[in-house]
A and B are shown apart, each in its own frame.
Chain A
Amino acid sequence: MFQNQYETVFILTPVLSETQIKEAVEKFKKTLTDNGAELVHEEHWGLRKLAYTIQHKNTGYYQLFQYKADAKIVAVLETDFKRDERVMRYLTTKLDKYALDYSDRRSKGLIGKKNVEPAKAEKAEATTEENA
């Protein structure tokens, strides 16, 4: 059966400690994997300044999940978000073919200015050579 890829970004409250954040992230990861979703990529952006206040807070911890799943799982995840007070905001988007291509390159660290790309690649090569 064909499965869509989705991308979810959510913001956790800044009042949590490091371990609490890890625990919350693990919890949502578990709801995904328990329901048969396949996690493709995840990113933790850390504490970021918000562009405007949400629940009287100016900062938040951002977390991104990219996963392959049935459409039903999105609703399950979102009810989990709604029930959890630690989540201030969430956004789930379906990835089309261009978005998939983009996120693929992004996860490999290729997104950026064109001039930067070859330089980065060279650097990576250089480091691998050093390691060898």
Chain B
Amino acid sequence: MSLINDPVDRKDTARKKYCRFKKAGIKYVDYKDPNFLLKFVNEQGKILPRRLTGNSLKFQRKVSVAIKRARHLALLPFVADGLK
């Protein structure tokens, strides 16, 4: 056994995250479309963090505002069990 750390072979599968809004050129996050917003919440209906979705800060803010508006209009639940 060598005392020097062997280089670890990283698999190429670890792809870099990207902001889907920037990539798709979406400028406005619509609060009236609950099916789309469902991508940014977990099963309990909580908003997913940026480190999981890969959103840029600008669009993460817009997403979170849109989700909160959708919740107010009962388009999305505040709390849920097994949303997905």
A40 on interface, CB distance cutoff 8 Å = no
A126 on interface, CB distance cutoff 8 Å = no
Which B residues from 28 to 44 make CB contacts under 8 A with A?
A: 28, 30-32, 34
Q: Which chain B residues border A91 with CB–CB below 8 Å?
A: 69, 72-73
Mark contacts of B5-33 with chain A using CB atoms, 8 A cut-off: 1 yes-contact digit, 0 otherwise: 00000000000000000000001101110
Known: A91-B69, A93-B69. A102 touches B30 (CB 8 A): yes
A59 to B78 CA separation, bound complex (whole angstroms): 16
Q: Which chain A residues border B73 with CB–CB below 8 Å?
A: 9, 11, 62, 89, 91
Closest approach, in angstroms, between the C-beta of A49 and any C-beta of chain B? 9
Binding site secondary structure of chain B: loop
B63 on interface, CB distance cutoff 8 Å = no
A121 to B49 CA separation, bound complex (whole angstroms): 37
Closest approach, in angstroms, between the C-beta of A109 and any C-beta of chain B? 14
B interface residues, Cβ below 8 angstroms from A: 27-28, 30-32, 34, 69, 71-78, 80
Q: Are A102 and B77 in contact (CB under 8 A)?
A: no
Q: Which chain A residues border B78 with CB–CB below 8 Å?
A: 52
Closest approach, in angstroms, between the C-beta of A37 and any C-beta of chain B? 20
Q: Which chain A residues border B34 with CB–CB below 8 Å?
A: 51
Q: Which of A52, A54, A93, A101 contacts B27 (CB 8 A)?
A: A101
Q: Which chain A residues border B69 with CB–CB below 8 Å?
A: 91, 93
Q: Which of B27, B72, B74 contacts A102 (CB 8 A)?
A: B27
A89 to B73 CA separation, bound complex (whole angstroms): 7
Residue of B nearest to A93 (CB): B69
Q: Which of B28, B30, B31, B75 contacts A51 (CB 8 A)?
A: B75
Q: Which chain B residues border A111 with CB–CB below 8 Å?
A: 30
